[in-house]
């Protein structure tokens, strides 16, 4: 992997973030409602409204507003929440931390289950195990998070009463209870990922097991274990890295829904609250932070892929 | 076409997908006629009923018949998802084709921008657009269509580029055919099949996304019998009657499974290698 | 000479939804120590199935009968564990394409050393040292470096040497060579054959050499077996089978082998006539400066497809263009048909063509191209009727019909039944599809047809009939051909002159009649040496 490749990827991520900021700003700023009216209420005087507009910079041309906003963002200033009057940044980053914890556990659970499931299905192709994994993954990719969450709560919290249905306890406060509160959200978020990734691992591995070099390895008299783990998996898992990175998009979407359902104060929930209360700076900052997280995850995946796969030669 | 259909029936995924999607379309067309009750008639004495011979799937918090509401809601859920996917595919296909056709720097610029847009997760994009346009079913459809556009553009472009490299296109160019003939007669029939596959699978995703938006209170609004909204409303009464929340959830899942199966079946059948 | 591998009355069937299909029928073969048995057959003849059967690598759907023995070991009855110990240890195998038979993510040395570790119980360190010695023995310079390289860092010839080293690594009693040179260019293939002969003589291994190429087998084998539709139709000493083939299929196969001394074209173009095509210093470049490289002020990599190529084609002349893959032959074809932008001079019938923009209707009608793969050059979603109707609609003469009649005539001209008009390409065989492509090219009654490797995807016997058809069409219409191929023997049969290309340059333009003595360029001579003319049957 050449330094030029890394430089190119960094240039690309900068462009990505620029486009994202433009879209986020464009979508949120062309609000049909007047932000000043929203802030002060319908009965505010014209003078008060004008004062607020000036303070928020709403009377400047759009491009100036954009540059002003972007300038702030670059310096870590995401503006002031219209709802709470507090700076947006610190609250959102705190929420992001909670969401990342949820995402991390979900990814770990996904890797722990999706890889073995996919491998077993590929090796036992056409047998019962393959069918079972196939059916599970079909159901998994077809259940929206709110349905999964509903069913899990119904069974595990309501009926069996094993787990708390909603709420959040910081791990630093009470580790055991904190974990217990995370179980249902993590299960919900990871189900769709497990389903998708195990299908991908299976199909990649099935393809790899049909290649000439796997046949050559078998005809060299190598054991099944060597053929599978040394020759097969390495090649099958490489493309899976990219798929996992792309799935982080689903994951972030899932995080939004799951946090809303389980009353988990992460960035997704903040975003929903912000959208519902039309808190402009919070919506902009929340969307930008989520998209940035996704872009960085993809960037890391690309670098990891290029590092692991020596065949790729980049200009 | 009949050949495709026959081959679909031979694969278990395709046959099952056809069956489920066929049933769903039947419900979409005939739903209101099949419904035993008016979906909006409230019956204060018949609230939270479990499934019975009278109410096959039970009743909700206002004593409305859940089966009737589901049958009526199919239109709201499935048709809107189909429209959203169709719009997104159309827009994406246009962008993808133009990008593939232009090639070179323009293609690269368009694709890099598409990549950038795709780093906003679909649900987030839809949320932002609903935020911009306001909460309603129609706006949710637009939001999903816009959220799908970059992905479809990507797929269309890669398929179009693969077809563009085929020698039958080269042969047409060498023969001196017009650009219009090459695109419409030589390329399009070969580009359409993989796009239909991708589109079918996306319908499943659109159903899920649309229901999710409604569930979050940003899509269909009460008293509509959209399935996601039904789940959201039923959450409060989960302890009183789990049936209320179970049926619409399963309905969403069934539609998504149906279109996923159909898409995979189509992929196998339309693949020229098989 | 002790028999090493003995196959007796071996039948192989594959279960299909409609019943069993026979892949191998009563095959009886034996190979002794130090012997090379050449197994020759066309695609689908069952030759590869036999290799899998010997290696015990058969799908679940296989049903077999008869015996396969390695010395006194019954391979069919052997347990999976026994087979694991025999593969790579007692029977080695060399595969067709080294770029797919080597694992792309493991170093070459690892893929060689693992066999030594598995079968000879060497430690990792010993295995790597031994592997290095093996690589030196198969003629690789810098073996220690080669051990650490990945497949993508080595050339095709180097990779195939590694595969061969792996096959010989455990001193097996028997090695199966499955078309080991087919994926390589001719000069590399020739070197690999030399290596094979050397190692074969040194180790005295019993070799089964599978190939579609009769001429090649006549060089490497001591005995030859011809397989057709799963049956061994003829078997015997090489000299005997080639000199006096007794089976009709063998005779047909031998007759189809291209022989330079057997000219198929009697016409000679008029040397005084005005040239039909004149190419002057024509260059083609690919790629563009990458954006970032430009930004950093670095020179972008522009790949040169053709470098200042000059040649002329007379009316009715067949000009052969030969060269290995990547030599720029197809690039030239694409430039002449407006599929690649080019620089330099091009004149057609005296008229200058400065670029793609100058290729008007008249030029398009007069210059047609036929591609290598008919699968890709015929649109899979159009019927043959639609495919053939386009050039008629575009370029049909006023008197010429355009309906079913004209399409039927076109099909008959390439010796296909008229009823094929209603079929789709996938309902035709490879040779039939290529005939449709030929019919499409001739529909506009062109004056120059560019044939870009049009027979290299076809079996020898099909190739022979396609070539015969082309020669016949040339005689009837007086069309000039630009015949691009990597097969020197084939092109010597039909071309009037041959242009030799090497890495984008036209290195030599020579009269066929003057060959082989008239070749002046070193590359041309090494090409000629690499593909000796096959032995002629005396019959």
Q: In chain B, where are the structural domains located?
A: 2-35+55-270
CATH 1.10.630.10 fits domain A93-308: no
Look up residue C376 and give its two tokens: 């890709």
Same domain, C511 and C454: yes
Q: Which residues of B touch A272 (CB under 8 A)?
A: 127, 216
Least confident of A116-125, B5-14, C19-28, C222-231: B5-14
Same domain, C237 and C286: no
Please state the domain count of chain C.
2
Fold of B2-35+55-270: MetI-like fold (1.10.3720)
Look up residue C197 and give its two tokens: 């002969």
Please check whether residue C57 touches A, CB under 8 A. yes
Q: Which residues contact B178 (CB under 8 A, 6 or more apart)?
A: none
In chain A, the residue whose alpha carbon lies closest to the alpha carbon of B126 is A253
Q: How far apart are CA C221 and CA A288, in angstroms?
A: 70
End-to-end CA distance of chain A: 10
Tens of pLDDT, residue by residue, chain C (539 residues)? 689 999 999 999 999 888 889 999 999 999 998 899 999 998 889 999 999 999 999 988 899 999 999 998 999 999 999 999 999 999 999 999 999 999 988 999 999 999 999 999 999 999 999 999 999 999 998 999 999 999 988 999 999 999 999 999 999 999 999 999 988 888 899 999 999 999 999 999 999 999 988 888 888 999 999 999 999 999 999 989 888 899 999 999 888 888 888 888 888 887 788 899 999 998 988 765 555 555 555 555 567 888 889 999 999 999 999 988 888 899 999 999 988 888 888 999 989 988 888 888 889 999 999 999 988 999 988 899 999 999 988 887 666 666 788 899 999 999 999 999 999 998 898 899 999 999 999 998 999 999 999 998 888 889 999 999 999 999 999 999 999 998 888 999 999 999 999 988 999 999 988 877 888 899 999 888 887 766 555 43
Q: Which residues of B touch A149 (CB under 8 A)?
A: none
Asked whether the beta carbons of C393 and C401 are under 8 A apart, the reply is no
Angle between helices A128-142 and A175-209 (to 10 degrees): 120
Asked whether the beta carbons of A213 and C152 are under 8 A apart, the reply is no
Question: Using the beta-carbon criterion (under 8 Å), do B215 and A146 form an inter-chain contact?
Answer: yes
Give, for C4, the enclosing helix (H) or strand (E). Answer: strand C3-16
Among positive and negative, which fits the CA dihedral A16, A21, A24, A26?
negative
Q: Which residues of A touch C86 (CB under 8 A)?
A: 221
Mutation target to probe the B interface, by most B beta carbons within 10 A, among A12, A130, A253 is A253
Position C349 in a domain: yes
Question: How many B×C Cβ pairs under 8 Å?
Answer: 60
Same domain, C30 and C154: yes
Helix (H, G, I), strand (E, B) or coil at A234: helix
Looking at residue B237, what DSSP letter applies? G
Asked whether the beta carbons of B213 and B228 are under 8 A apart, the reply is yes
Q: How far apart are CA C408 and CA C394, in angstroms?
A: 18
Average of per-residue pLDDT values in chain A: 83
Position C264 in a domain: no
In chain C, the residue whose alpha carbon lies closest to the alpha carbon of B274 is C426
pLDDT classification of A41: cutoffs 50, 70, 90: low
Position C261 in a domain: no
Same domain, C324 and C436: yes
End of a domain among C222, C256, C290?
Answer: C256
For the CA atoms of C113, C118, C123, C127, what is the dihedral angle to 10 degrees?
-20
Segment A11-24 mean pLDDT: 88
Average of per-residue pLDDT values in chain B: 83
What are the CA-CA distances from residue C35 to residues C46, C56, C173 (Å)? 22, 22, 11
Domain region containing C176:
3-256
In chain C, the residue whose alpha carbon lies closest to the alpha carbon of B181 is C390
Q: How far apart are CA A305 and CA A293, in angstroms?
A: 18
Q: How far apart are CA A72 and CA A94, in angstroms?
A: 19
pLDDT value of residue C288: 57
Domain layout of chain A by residue ranges: 3-74, 93-308
C 309-328: CB under 8 A from B: none
ipTM confidence score: 0.84
Look up residue C419 and give its two tokens: 């009823």
Q: Which residues contact A266 (CB under 8 A, 6 or more apart)?
A: A95, A96, A98, A99, A102, A255, A259
Q: Which residues contact B273 (CB under 8 A, 6 or more apart)?
A: none
Angle between helices C430-442 and C460-477 (to 10 degrees): 10
In chain C, the residue whose alpha carbon lies closest to the alpha carbon of A223 is C84
pLDDT value of residue A238: 83
In chain C, the residue whose alpha carbon lies closest to the alpha carbon of B176 is C364
Q: How far apart are CA C524 and CA C518, in angstroms?
A: 10
Q: How far apart are CA C348 and CA C360, in angstroms?
A: 11
What are the CA-CA distances from residue B167 to residues A66, C119, C373 (Å)? 49, 47, 8
Q: Higher pLDDT residue, A40 or C278? A: C278
Q: Which residues contact C374 (CB under 8 A, 6 or more apart)?
A: C425, C430, C433, C434, C436, C437, C457
Q: Tell me which residue in C337, C359, C378 faces B168 most closely, judged by beta carbons.
A: C378
Query: What order do you get walking across the sheet with C277-286 strand by strand?
Result: C303-313, C277-286, C343-348, C351-352
Same domain, C425 and C375: yes
Q: How many residues does chain B have?
A: 274
Please check whether residue A225 touches C, CB under 8 A. no
Look up residue B197 and give its two tokens: 């596959």
Look up residue B122 and give its two tokens: 């679909």
Q: Higher pLDDT residue, C252 or A242? A: C252
Q: Which pairing describes strands C223-228 and C36-40: parallel, antiparallel, or unpaired? A: parallel
Angle between helices A280-308 and A88-123 (to 10 degrees): 40
Same domain, C212 and C116: yes
Q: Mind spelling out the 3-state secondary structure of B105-137? A: HHHHHHHHHHHHHHCCCHHHHHHHHHHHHCCCH
Q: How far apart are CA B163 and CA B192, in angstroms?
A: 11
Mutation target to probe the A interface, by most A beta carbons within 10 A, among C99, C104, C208 is C104
Q: How far is C379 from chain B (nearest CA, A)?
A: 6
**pTM for the whole thing?**
0.84
Q: How far apart are CA B72 and CA B66, in angstroms?
A: 10
Least confident of A206-220, B119-133, C381-395, C405-419: B119-133
Look up the CATH number of the domain holding residue C104: 3.40.50.300
End of a domain among C204, C225, C256?
Answer: C256
Question: Using the beta-carbon criterion (under 8 Å), do B168 and C379 form an inter-chain contact?
Answer: yes
Asked whether the beta carbons of A88 and A81 are under 8 A apart, the reply is yes
Same domain, C395 and C299: yes
Segment A86-98 mean pLDDT: 86
Same domain, C383 and C354: yes
Residue B274 has pLDDT above 70, yes or no: no
Among candidates B57, B45, B71, B69, which has minimal Cα distance to B241?
A: B57
Please check whether residue B226 touches C, CB under 8 A. no
Q: Which pairing describes strands C36-40 and C3-16: parallel, antiparallel, or unpaired? A: unpaired
Position C536 in a domain: no
Q: Higher pLDDT residue, C15 or A250? A: C15
Look up residue B220 and give its two tokens: 């269909």
Question: Using the beta-carbon criterion (under 8 Å), do C292 and A7 form an inter-chain contact?
Answer: yes
Asked whether the beta carbons of B144 and B88 are under 8 A apart, the reply is yes
Position C535 in a domain: no
Residue A35 has pLDDT above 90, yes or no: no
Question: Using the beta-carbon criterion (under 8 Å), do B175 and C378 form an inter-chain contact?
Answer: no
Q: Which pairing describes strands C480-485 and C318-322: parallel, antiparallel, or unpaired? A: parallel
Residue A125 has pLDDT above 90, yes or no: no
């Amino acid at each position: 992997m050449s330094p030029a490749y890394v430089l190119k990827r960094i240039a690309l991520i900068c462009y990505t973030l620029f486009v994202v900021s433009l879209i986020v700003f464009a979508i949120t700023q062309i609000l049909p409602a007047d932000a000043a009216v929203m802030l002060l209420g319908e009965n505010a005087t014209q003078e008060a409204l004008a004062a607020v507009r000036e303070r928020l910079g709403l009377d400047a041309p759009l491009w100036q507003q954009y540059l002003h906003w972007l300038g702030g963002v670059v310096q870590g200033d995401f503006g002031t929440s219209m709802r709470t009057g507090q700076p947006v940044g610190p609250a959102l980053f705190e929420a992001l931390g909670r969401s990342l914890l949820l995402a991390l556990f979900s990814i770990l659970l996904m890797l722990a289950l999706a890889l073995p499931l996919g491998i077993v299905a590929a090796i036992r192709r056409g047998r019962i195990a393959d069918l079972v994994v196939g059916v599970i993954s079909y159901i998994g990719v077809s259940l929206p998070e709110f349905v999964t969450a509903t069913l899990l709560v119904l069974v595990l919290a309501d009926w069996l009463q094993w787990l708390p249905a909603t709420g959040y306890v910081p791990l630093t406060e009470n580790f055991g209870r904190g974990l217990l509160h995370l179980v249902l959200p993590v299960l919900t978020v990871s189900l769709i990922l497990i389903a998708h990734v195990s299908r991908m691992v299976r199909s990649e591995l099935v393809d790899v097991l049909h290649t000439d070099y796997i046949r050559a390895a078998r005809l060299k008299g190598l054991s099944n274990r060597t053929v599978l783990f040394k020759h097969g998996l390495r090649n099958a898992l490489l493309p899976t890295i990219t798929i996992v990175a792309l799935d982080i998009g689903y994951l972030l979407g899932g995080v939004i829904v799951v946090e809303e359902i389980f009353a988990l104060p992460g960035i997704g929930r903040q975003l929903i609250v912000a959208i519902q209360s039309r808190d402009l700076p919070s919506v902009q900052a929340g969307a930008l932070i989520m998209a940035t997280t996704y872009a960085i995850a993809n960037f890391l995946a690309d670098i990891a892929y290029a590092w692991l796969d020596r065949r790729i030669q980049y200009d | 076409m009949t050949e495709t259909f026959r081959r679909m029936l031979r694969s278990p995924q395709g046959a099952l997908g056809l069956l489920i999607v066929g049933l769903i379309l039947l419900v979409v067309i005939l739903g209101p006629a099949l419904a035993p009750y008016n979906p909006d008639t409230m019956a204060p004495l018949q609230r939270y009923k479990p499934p019975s011979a009278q109410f096959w799937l039970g009743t909700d918090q206002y004593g409305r018949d859940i089966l009737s509401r589901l049958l009526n809601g199919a239109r709201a859920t499935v048709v809107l998802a189909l429209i959203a996917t169709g719009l997104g595919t159309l827009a994406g296909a246009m962008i993808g084709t133009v990008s593939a056709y232009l090639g070179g720097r323009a293609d690269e610029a368009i694709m890099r921008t598409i990549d950038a847009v795709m780093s906003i997760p679909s649900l987030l994009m839809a949320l932002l657009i609903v935020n911009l346009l306001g909460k309603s079913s129609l706006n949710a459809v637009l939001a999903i269509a816009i959220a799908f556009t970059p992905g479809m553009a990507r797929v269309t472009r890669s398929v179009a580029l693969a077809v563009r490299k085929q020698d039958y296109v080269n042969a047409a160019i060498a023969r001196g055919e017009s650009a219009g003939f090459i695109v419409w007669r030589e390329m399009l029939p070969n580009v359409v099949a993989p796009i239909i596959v991708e589109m079918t699978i996306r319908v499943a995703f659109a159903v899920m996304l649309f229901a999710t938006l409604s569930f979050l209170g940003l899509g269909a609004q009460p008293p509509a019998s959209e399935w996601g909204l039904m789940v959201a409303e039923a959450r409060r009464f989960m302890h009183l009657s789990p049936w209320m929340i179970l049926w619409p959830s399963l309905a969403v899942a069934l539609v998504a499974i149906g279109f996923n199966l159909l898409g995979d079946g189509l992929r196998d059948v339309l693949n020229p290698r098989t | 000479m002790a028999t090493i591998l003995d196959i007796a009355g071996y039948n192989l069937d594959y279960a299909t939804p409609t019943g069993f299909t026979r892949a191998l029928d009563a095959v009886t073969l034996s190979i002794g120590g130090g012997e090379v048995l050449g197994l020759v057959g066309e695609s689908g003849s069952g030759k590869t199935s036999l290799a899998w059967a010997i290696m015990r690598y058969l799908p679940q759907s296989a049903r077999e009968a008869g015996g396969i023995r390695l010395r006194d070991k019954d391979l069919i009855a052997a347990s999976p564990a026994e087979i694991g110990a025999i593969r790579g240890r007692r029977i080695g195998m060399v595969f067709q394409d080294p770029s797919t038979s080597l694992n792309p993510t493991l170093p070459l040395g690892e893929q060689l050393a693992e066999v030594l570790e598995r079968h000879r119980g060497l430690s990792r360190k010993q295995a790597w040292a031994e592997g290095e010695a093996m690589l030196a023995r198969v003629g690789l310079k810098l073996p220690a470096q080669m051990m650490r390289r990945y497949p993508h860092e080595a050339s095709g010839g180097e990779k195939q040497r590694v595969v061969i080293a792996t096959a010989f690594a455990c001193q097996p009693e028997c090695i199966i060579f499955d078309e080991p040179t087919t994926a390589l260019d001719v000069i590399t293939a020739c070197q690999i054959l030399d290596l094979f002969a050397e190692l074969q003589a040194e180790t005295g291994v019993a070799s089964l050499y599978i190939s579609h190429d009769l001429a090649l087998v006549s060089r490497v084998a001591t005995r030859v077996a011809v397989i057709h539709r799963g049956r061994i139709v003829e078997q015997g000493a090489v000299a005997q089978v080639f000199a006096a083939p007794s089976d009709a299929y063998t005779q047909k196969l031998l007759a189809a082998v291209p022989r330079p001394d057997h000219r198929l074209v009697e016409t000679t173009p008029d040397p005084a006539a005005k040239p039909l095509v004149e190419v002057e210093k024509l260059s083609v470049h690919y790629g563009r400066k990458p954006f970032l490289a430009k930004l950093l002020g670095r020179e972008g990599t522009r790949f040169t497809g053709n470098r200042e190529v000059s040649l002329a084609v007379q009316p009715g002349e067949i000009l052969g263009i030969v060269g290995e893959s990547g030599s720029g032959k197809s690039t030239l074809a694409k430039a002449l048909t407006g599929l690649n932008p080019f620089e330099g001079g091009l004149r057609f019938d005296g008229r200058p063509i400065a670029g793609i923009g100058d290729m008007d209707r008249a030029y398009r009608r007069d210059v047609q191209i036929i591609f290598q793969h008919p699968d890709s050059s015929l649109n899979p979603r159009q019927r043959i009727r639609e495919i053939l109707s386009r050039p008629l609609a575009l370029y049909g003469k006023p008197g010429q019909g355009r309906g079913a009649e004209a399409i039927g005539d076109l099909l008959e001209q390439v010796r296909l039944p008229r009823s094929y008009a209603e079929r789709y390409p996938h309902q035709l065989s490879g040779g039939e599809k290529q005939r449709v492509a030929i019919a499409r090219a001739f529909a506009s009654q062109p004056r120059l047809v560019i044939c870009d490797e049009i027979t290299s995807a076809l079996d020898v016997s099909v190739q022979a009939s396609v070539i015969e058809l082309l020669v016949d069409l040339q005689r009837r219409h007086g069309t000039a051909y630009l015949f691009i191929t990597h097969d020197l023997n084939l092109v010597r049969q039909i071309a009037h002159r041959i242009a030799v290309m090497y890495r984008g340059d036209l290195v030599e333009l020579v009269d066929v009649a003057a060959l082989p003595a008239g070749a002046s360029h070193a590359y041309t001579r090494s090409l000629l040496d690499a593909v000796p003319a096959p032995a002629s049957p005396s019959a």
